[in-house]
Protein backbone atom coordinates (compact mmCIF):
# COMPACT_ATOMS: atom_id res chain seq x y z
CA UNK A 1 0.00 0.00 0.00
CA UNK A 2 0.73 3.65 -0.05
CA UNK A 3 2.57 5.24 2.92
CA UNK A 4 0.58 7.41 5.30
CA UNK A 5 3.33 8.14 7.82
CA UNK A 6 7.08 8.07 7.27
CA UNK A 7 9.48 8.46 10.15
CA UNK A 8 12.94 9.24 8.87
CA UNK A 9 16.15 9.30 10.90
CA UNK A 10 14.38 10.51 14.01
CA UNK A 11 16.75 11.37 16.86
CA UNK A 12 15.81 12.33 20.41
CA UNK A 13 18.05 13.43 23.28
CA UNK A 14 17.29 13.84 26.94
CA UNK A 15 18.93 17.01 28.16
CA UNK A 16 21.28 19.28 26.28
CA UNK A 17 24.98 20.01 26.11
CA UNK A 18 27.45 17.78 27.92
CA UNK A 19 24.76 16.03 29.90
CA UNK A 20 22.71 15.09 26.83
CA UNK A 21 21.82 11.43 26.55
CA UNK A 22 20.77 9.98 23.23
CA UNK A 23 17.37 8.29 23.67
CA UNK A 24 16.47 7.55 20.04
CA UNK A 25 19.01 7.13 17.26
CA UNK A 26 18.04 7.34 13.59
CA UNK A 27 14.63 5.71 13.82
CA UNK A 28 13.22 5.07 10.36
CA UNK A 29 9.81 3.46 9.85
CA UNK A 30 7.02 3.54 7.30
CA UNK A 31 3.35 3.02 8.09
CA UNK A 32 1.10 2.21 5.16
CA UNK A 33 -2.60 3.06 4.85
CA UNK A 34 -4.70 0.65 6.87
CA UNK A 35 -1.66 -1.21 8.20
CA UNK A 36 -1.07 -2.33 11.80
CA UNK A 37 2.55 -1.63 12.61
CA UNK A 38 3.75 -3.04 15.92
CA UNK A 39 6.61 -1.55 17.89
CA UNK A 40 8.05 -3.84 20.55
CA UNK A 41 10.91 -3.91 23.01
CA UNK A 42 11.56 -4.14 26.73
CA UNK A 43 10.68 -1.13 28.86
CA UNK A 44 13.28 1.59 28.49
CA UNK A 45 13.98 0.70 24.86
CA UNK A 46 12.61 4.04 23.67
CA UNK A 47 9.20 2.97 22.32
CA UNK A 48 7.19 5.55 24.23
CA UNK A 49 9.78 8.24 23.60
CA UNK A 50 9.38 7.55 19.89
CA UNK A 51 5.59 7.78 20.20
CA UNK A 52 5.74 11.06 22.08
CA UNK A 53 8.31 12.50 19.71
CA UNK A 54 6.45 11.71 16.53
CA UNK A 55 3.23 13.24 17.84
CA UNK A 56 5.18 16.21 19.23
CA UNK A 57 3.94 15.46 22.73
CA UNK A 58 7.46 14.97 24.03
CA UNK A 59 8.14 17.01 27.16
CA UNK A 60 11.36 18.53 28.48
CA UNK A 61 14.06 17.35 29.00
CA UNK A 62 13.27 15.36 25.82
CA UNK A 63 14.41 17.17 22.69
CA UNK A 64 14.00 16.11 19.06
CA UNK A 65 17.43 16.63 17.58
CA UNK A 66 16.90 15.44 14.03
CA UNK A 67 14.81 13.70 11.45
CA UNK A 68 11.44 14.04 9.78
CA UNK A 69 7.97 12.68 10.40
CA UNK A 70 6.10 12.97 7.13
CA UNK A 71 2.36 12.66 7.39
CA UNK A 72 0.65 12.16 4.03
CA UNK A 73 -2.78 13.36 4.86
CA UNK A 74 -5.71 12.77 2.60
CA UNK A 75 -8.78 14.76 3.51
CA UNK A 76 -12.02 12.76 3.49
CA UNK A 77 -13.53 12.36 0.06
CA UNK A 78 -10.39 13.56 -1.71
CA UNK A 79 -7.83 11.51 -3.58
CA UNK A 80 -4.96 13.92 -3.41
CA UNK A 81 -2.55 13.82 -0.49
CA UNK A 82 -0.86 16.67 1.30
CA UNK A 83 2.41 16.05 3.07
CA UNK A 84 3.18 17.71 6.39
CA UNK A 85 6.42 17.25 8.31
CA UNK A 86 5.06 16.99 11.83
CA UNK A 87 8.44 17.95 13.27
CA UNK A 88 8.48 21.20 11.30
CA UNK A 89 4.74 21.98 11.53
CA UNK A 90 3.49 25.06 13.34
CA UNK A 91 1.16 24.82 16.32
CA UNK A 92 -1.99 25.46 14.25
CA UNK A 93 -1.11 22.90 11.63
CA UNK A 94 -0.37 20.36 14.36
CA UNK A 95 -3.67 21.00 16.07
CA UNK A 96 -5.51 20.12 12.87
CA UNK A 97 -3.52 16.93 12.34
CA UNK A 98 -3.75 15.72 15.92
CA UNK A 99 -7.04 14.02 16.74
CA UNK A 100 -8.61 14.55 13.34
CA UNK A 101 -5.91 12.75 11.35
CA UNK A 102 -3.58 11.19 13.87
CA UNK A 103 -4.98 10.34 17.29
CA UNK A 104 -3.41 8.80 20.33
CA UNK A 105 -4.48 6.27 22.98
CA UNK A 106 -2.14 6.01 25.94
CA UNK A 107 -1.98 3.39 28.66
CA UNK A 108 -3.70 5.37 31.35
CA UNK A 109 -7.15 6.57 30.34
CA UNK A 110 -7.55 8.01 33.81
CA UNK A 111 -5.06 10.74 32.91
CA UNK A 112 -6.44 11.42 29.48
CA UNK A 113 -10.13 11.66 30.40
CA UNK A 114 -11.61 14.63 32.18
CA UNK A 115 -12.60 13.27 35.63
CA UNK A 116 -15.44 15.77 36.11
CA UNK A 117 -17.18 15.34 32.75
CA UNK A 118 -19.63 12.60 31.84
CA UNK A 119 -18.35 10.39 29.06
CA UNK A 120 -20.91 11.47 26.46
CA UNK A 121 -20.01 15.09 27.20
CA UNK A 122 -16.32 14.39 26.58
CA UNK A 123 -17.25 13.22 23.11
CA UNK A 124 -19.74 15.97 22.30
CA UNK A 125 -17.24 18.60 23.52
CA UNK A 126 -14.63 17.25 21.20
CA UNK A 127 -17.08 17.28 18.29
CA UNK A 128 -18.11 20.83 19.13
CA UNK A 129 -14.48 21.97 18.82
CA UNK A 130 -13.57 20.03 15.69
CA UNK A 131 -16.85 19.62 13.81
CA UNK A 132 -18.33 23.06 13.89
CA UNK A 133 -20.96 22.30 11.26
CA UNK A 134 -22.67 19.67 13.42
CA UNK A 135 -25.81 20.55 15.33
CA UNK A 136 -26.15 19.67 19.02
CA UNK A 137 -28.46 16.83 18.07
CA UNK A 138 -26.00 15.45 15.53
CA UNK A 139 -23.22 15.60 18.12
CA UNK A 140 -25.32 13.67 20.60
CA UNK A 141 -26.18 11.03 18.04
CA UNK A 142 -22.58 10.71 16.98
CA UNK A 143 -21.43 10.35 20.62
CA UNK A 144 -23.93 7.52 21.16
CA UNK A 145 -22.85 5.86 17.93
CA UNK A 146 -19.15 6.08 18.86
CA UNK A 147 -19.70 4.64 22.31
CA UNK A 148 -21.84 1.85 20.92
CA UNK A 149 -19.09 1.12 18.41
CA UNK A 150 -16.70 0.35 21.29
CA UNK A 151 -19.28 -1.68 23.21
CA UNK A 152 -20.59 0.91 25.66
CA UNK A 153 -24.34 0.82 25.99
CA UNK A 154 -26.77 3.72 26.35
CA UNK A 155 -27.19 3.23 30.11
CA UNK A 156 -23.52 4.23 30.56
CA UNK A 157 -23.62 7.43 28.54
CA UNK A 158 -23.97 9.69 31.54
CA UNK A 159 -21.35 8.00 33.69
CA UNK A 160 -18.28 9.75 34.97
CA UNK A 161 -14.91 8.12 34.22
CA UNK A 162 -14.42 6.97 37.84
CA UNK A 163 -17.73 5.09 37.68
CA UNK A 164 -16.40 2.87 34.91
CA UNK A 165 -14.07 -0.12 35.00
CA UNK A 166 -10.56 0.22 33.58
CA UNK A 167 -11.63 -1.63 30.46
CA UNK A 168 -14.63 0.66 29.92
CA UNK A 169 -12.45 3.73 30.32
CA UNK A 170 -10.02 2.41 27.75
CA UNK A 171 -13.00 1.86 25.41
CA UNK A 172 -14.03 5.49 25.91
CA UNK A 173 -10.48 6.53 24.98
CA UNK A 174 -10.70 4.47 21.82
CA UNK A 175 -14.06 6.06 20.97
CA UNK A 176 -12.49 9.50 21.44
CA UNK A 177 -9.53 8.55 19.29
CA UNK A 178 -11.86 7.42 16.50
CA UNK A 179 -14.35 10.27 16.82
CA UNK A 180 -12.91 12.39 14.03
CA UNK A 181 -12.15 9.45 11.73
CA UNK A 182 -8.37 9.72 11.79
CA UNK A 183 -6.14 8.00 9.25
CA UNK A 184 -3.68 6.90 11.91
CA UNK A 185 -4.20 5.86 15.54
CA UNK A 186 -1.15 5.55 17.75
CA UNK A 187 -1.58 3.27 20.75
CA UNK A 188 0.99 3.02 23.54
CA UNK A 189 0.32 -0.05 25.69
CA UNK A 190 -3.44 0.61 25.40
CA UNK A 191 -4.51 -2.57 27.18
CA UNK A 192 -1.50 -3.39 29.35
CA UNK A 193 -3.19 -2.37 32.59
CA UNK A 194 -6.21 -4.63 31.93
CA UNK A 195 -6.84 -8.28 32.71
CA UNK A 196 -6.20 -10.76 29.91
CA UNK A 197 -9.85 -11.40 29.05
CA UNK A 198 -10.74 -7.70 28.81
CA UNK A 199 -7.56 -7.04 26.86
CA UNK A 200 -8.47 -9.69 24.31
CA UNK A 201 -12.04 -8.45 23.93
CA UNK A 202 -10.93 -4.88 23.35
CA UNK A 203 -8.23 -5.84 20.87
CA UNK A 204 -10.60 -8.02 18.87
CA UNK A 205 -13.08 -5.18 18.65
CA UNK A 206 -10.35 -2.77 17.73
CA UNK A 207 -9.23 -4.97 14.84
CA UNK A 208 -12.82 -5.24 13.61
CA UNK A 209 -13.16 -1.46 13.71
CA UNK A 210 -9.96 -1.06 11.79
CA UNK A 211 -11.25 -3.47 9.17
CA UNK A 212 -14.44 -1.47 8.86
CA UNK A 213 -13.05 2.07 9.06
CA UNK A 214 -9.68 1.56 7.41
CA UNK A 215 -7.41 3.51 9.76
CA UNK A 216 -3.78 2.49 10.27
CA UNK A 217 -2.41 1.71 13.73
CA UNK A 218 0.97 2.03 15.36
CA UNK A 219 0.69 -0.36 18.28
CA UNK A 220 3.35 -0.10 20.97
CA UNK A 221 3.79 -2.85 23.51
CA UNK A 222 6.43 -4.79 25.43
CA UNK A 223 4.47 -7.93 24.48
CA UNK A 224 5.81 -9.19 21.16
CA UNK A 225 3.52 -12.25 21.23
CA UNK A 226 0.53 -9.91 21.00
CA UNK A 227 1.99 -8.22 17.94
CA UNK A 228 2.67 -11.48 16.14
CA UNK A 229 -1.10 -11.98 16.23
CA UNK A 230 -2.27 -8.42 15.62
CA UNK A 231 0.25 -6.66 13.47
CA UNK A 232 0.99 -6.73 9.76
CA UNK A 233 4.56 -5.62 10.32
CA UNK A 234 6.78 -5.24 13.35
CA UNK A 235 9.71 -3.11 14.42
CA UNK A 236 11.85 -4.17 17.38
CA UNK A 237 13.60 -1.54 19.48
CA UNK A 238 16.62 -1.97 21.70
CA UNK A 239 18.48 0.80 23.55
CA UNK A 240 16.94 3.55 21.45
CA UNK A 241 17.45 1.95 18.04
CA UNK A 242 15.23 -0.02 15.74
CA UNK A 243 17.20 -3.24 15.46
CA UNK A 244 14.87 -5.31 13.28
CA UNK A 245 11.91 -4.71 10.99
CA UNK A 246 9.81 -7.05 8.92
CA UNK A 247 6.43 -8.66 8.22
CA UNK A 248 4.92 -10.03 11.45
CA UNK A 249 4.70 -13.68 10.44
CA UNK A 250 8.09 -13.81 8.74
CA UNK A 251 9.73 -12.08 11.66
CA UNK A 252 8.27 -14.67 14.00
CA UNK A 253 9.21 -17.62 11.79
CA UNK A 254 12.68 -16.42 11.05
CA UNK A 255 14.00 -13.68 13.35
CA UNK A 256 17.19 -12.07 12.03
CA UNK A 257 18.34 -10.27 15.16
CA UNK A 258 19.39 -12.25 18.27
CA UNK A 259 17.38 -9.85 20.42
CA UNK A 260 14.20 -10.61 18.46
CA UNK A 261 15.01 -14.29 18.75
CA UNK A 262 15.42 -13.91 22.53
CA UNK A 263 12.06 -12.16 22.84
CA UNK A 264 10.36 -14.90 20.85
CA UNK A 265 12.01 -17.64 22.89
CA UNK A 266 10.75 -16.05 26.08
CA UNK A 267 7.06 -16.11 25.11
CA UNK A 268 4.96 -17.64 27.86
CA UNK A 269 3.53 -21.06 27.14
CA UNK A 270 0.30 -20.97 25.13
CA UNK A 271 -2.73 -23.04 26.09
CA UNK A 272 -1.03 -24.53 29.13
CA UNK A 273 1.61 -26.33 27.09
CA UNK A 274 4.85 -26.61 28.98
CA UNK A 275 7.44 -24.89 26.85
CA UNK A 276 10.84 -24.18 28.25
CA UNK A 277 11.41 -20.45 28.31
CA UNK A 278 14.88 -19.42 27.36
CA UNK A 279 14.57 -15.67 27.73
CA UNK A 280 17.42 -13.24 27.49
CA UNK A 281 20.04 -13.06 30.22
CA UNK A 282 20.66 -9.74 31.95
CA UNK A 283 18.67 -6.56 31.50
CA UNK A 284 18.64 -3.67 29.03
CA UNK A 285 21.36 -1.05 29.49
CA UNK A 286 20.76 2.43 30.87
CA UNK A 287 20.89 5.08 28.16
CA UNK A 288 23.62 6.80 30.17
CA UNK A 289 25.83 3.71 30.02
CA UNK A 290 25.38 2.14 26.58
CA UNK A 291 27.79 -0.69 25.79
CA UNK A 292 30.19 -0.03 22.93
CA UNK A 293 29.47 -1.34 19.45
CA UNK A 294 26.22 -3.29 19.33
CA UNK A 295 24.43 -2.25 22.55
CA UNK A 296 23.08 -5.81 22.82
CA UNK A 297 26.50 -7.50 22.83
CA UNK A 298 26.81 -8.14 26.61
CA UNK A 299 23.58 -10.17 26.43
CA UNK A 300 24.11 -11.79 23.05
CA UNK A 301 25.17 -15.42 22.87
CA UNK A 302 26.22 -15.02 19.22
CA UNK A 303 28.51 -12.03 19.76
CA UNK A 304 31.81 -11.93 17.87
CA UNK A 305 34.76 -9.54 18.38
CA UNK A 306 33.43 -7.00 15.92
CA UNK A 307 30.21 -6.63 17.96
CA UNK A 308 31.81 -4.74 20.84
CA UNK A 309 33.78 -2.52 18.48
CA UNK A 310 31.41 -1.33 15.78
CA UNK A 311 27.76 -0.34 15.79
CA UNK A 312 26.08 -2.66 13.27
CA UNK A 313 24.63 -1.07 10.16
CA UNK A 314 20.99 -1.73 9.29
CA UNK A 315 21.42 -4.56 6.80
CA UNK A 316 18.88 -5.84 4.30
CA UNK A 317 18.90 -9.63 4.29
CA UNK A 318 17.10 -11.55 1.56
CA UNK A 319 13.48 -10.47 1.01
CA UNK A 320 10.93 -12.60 2.81
CA UNK A 321 8.54 -14.94 1.04
CA UNK A 322 5.64 -12.61 1.85
CA UNK A 323 7.41 -9.91 -0.19
CA UNK A 324 8.07 -7.58 2.74
CA UNK A 325 11.47 -6.07 3.18
CA UNK A 326 13.52 -7.09 6.21
CA UNK A 327 16.16 -5.06 7.94
CA UNK A 328 18.31 -6.10 10.88
CA UNK A 329 21.11 -4.27 12.65
CA UNK A 330 23.34 -7.23 13.40
CA UNK A 331 26.80 -8.24 12.22
CA UNK A 332 25.61 -11.79 11.63
CA UNK A 333 23.53 -10.62 8.69
CA UNK A 334 24.65 -10.02 5.14
CA UNK A 335 22.78 -8.00 2.54
CA UNK A 336 20.73 -10.25 0.29
CA UNK A 337 21.42 -13.44 2.28
CA UNK A 338 19.07 -15.77 4.11
CA UNK A 339 19.28 -16.25 7.88
CA UNK A 340 22.67 -17.42 9.14
CA UNK A 341 22.65 -20.99 10.33
CA UNK A 342 23.18 -20.39 14.04
CA UNK A 343 20.11 -18.14 14.19
CA UNK A 344 17.99 -20.48 12.08
CA UNK A 345 18.80 -23.38 14.42
CA UNK A 346 17.88 -21.38 17.50
CA UNK A 347 14.54 -20.17 16.10
CA UNK A 348 11.32 -21.73 17.45
CA distance readout (Å), 261 to 129, 268, 281, 309: 47, 14, 13, 22
| Residue 108 neighbours by CB distance under 10 Å | 16
**Three-class SS state of 129:** helix
Residue closer to ligand SF4 by CB (options 215, 331) is: 331
Q: Of the candidates 72, 92, 88, 64, which has an alpha carbon nearest to the alpha carbon of residue 30?
A: 72
* H helical segments located in 243-340: 248-253, 258-265
Partner from Mg ion, ligand SF4, none binding residue 331, C-beta < 5-8 Å depending on class: ligand SF4
Residue closer to Mg ion by CB (options 188, 232) is: 188
Q: Where are the beta strands (DSSP E) in the chain?
A: 3-14, 21-32, 36-40, 62-73, 82-85, 102-105, 184-188, 216-221, 233-238, 241-247, 327-328
Of 14-22, 42-50, 64-72, 111-119, the segment contacting Mg ion by CB under 5 A is 42-50
Note whether 48 binds Mg ion by CB under 5 A: yes
Q: What is the DSSP letter of 125?
A: H
Residue closer to ligand SF4 by CB (options 4, 236) is: 236
Q: In whole angstroms, how close is the CB of 14 to ligand SF4 at the nearest point?
A: 24
Residue closest to Mg ion (Cβ): 48
Residue closer to ligand SF4 by CB (options 141, 309) is: 309
Q: In whole angstroms, how close is the CB of 293 to ligand SF4 at the nearest point?
A: 7
Of 6-14, 45-53, 133-141, 253-261, the segment contacting Mg ion by CB under 5 A is 45-53
Task: Give the span between the Cα atoms of 121 and 235, in whole angstroms.
Answer: 37
296 and 243 Cβ atoms separated by less than 8 Å: yes
Partner from ligand SF4, Mg ion, none binding residue 330, C-beta < 5-8 Å depending on class: ligand SF4
What are the residues binding ligand SF4 (CB under 6 A)?
257-258, 294, 296-297, 300, 302-303, 307, 312, 330-332
Q: In whole angstroms, how close is the CB of 179 to ligand SF4 at the nearest point?
A: 43
Note whether 225 binds Mg ion by CB under 5 A: no
CA distance readout (Å), 140 to 76, 176, 301: 22, 14, 58
Residue closer to Mg ion by CB (options 48, 308) is: 48
Note whether 198 binds Mg ion by CB under 5 A: no
**Three-class SS state of 27:** strand
Note whether 308 binds Mg ion by CB under 5 A: no
Residue closer to ligand SF4 by CB (options 207, 311) is: 311
Q: Of the candidates 190, 194, 282, 273, which has an alpha carbon nearest to the alpha carbon of residue 227?
A: 190
Partner from ligand SF4, Mg ion, none binding residue 48, C-beta < 5-8 Å depending on class: Mg ion
159 and 119 Cβ atoms separated by less than 8 Å: yes
Residue closer to ligand SF4 by CB (options 58, 330) is: 330
Of 48-56, 153-161, 210-218, 275-283, the segment contacting Mg ion by CB under 5 A is 48-56
Q: In whole angstroms, how close is the CB of 252 to ligand SF4 at the nearest point?
A: 18
Residue closer to ligand SF4 by CB (options 52, 252) is: 252
Task: Give the span between the Cα atoms of 99 and 101, in whole angstroms.
Answer: 6
The contact set with Mg ion (CB under 5 A) reads 48
Amino acid sequence: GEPVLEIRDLCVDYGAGKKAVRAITDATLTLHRGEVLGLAGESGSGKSTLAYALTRLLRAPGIITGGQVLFHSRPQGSDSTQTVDLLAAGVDELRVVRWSELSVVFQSAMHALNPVARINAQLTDMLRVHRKAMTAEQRNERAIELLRMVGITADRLHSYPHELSGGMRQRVMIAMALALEPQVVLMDEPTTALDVVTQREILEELMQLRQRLGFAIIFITHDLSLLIELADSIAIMYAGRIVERGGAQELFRSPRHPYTLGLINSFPALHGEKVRMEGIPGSPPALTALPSGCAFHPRCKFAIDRCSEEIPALLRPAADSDGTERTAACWLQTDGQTAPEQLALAAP
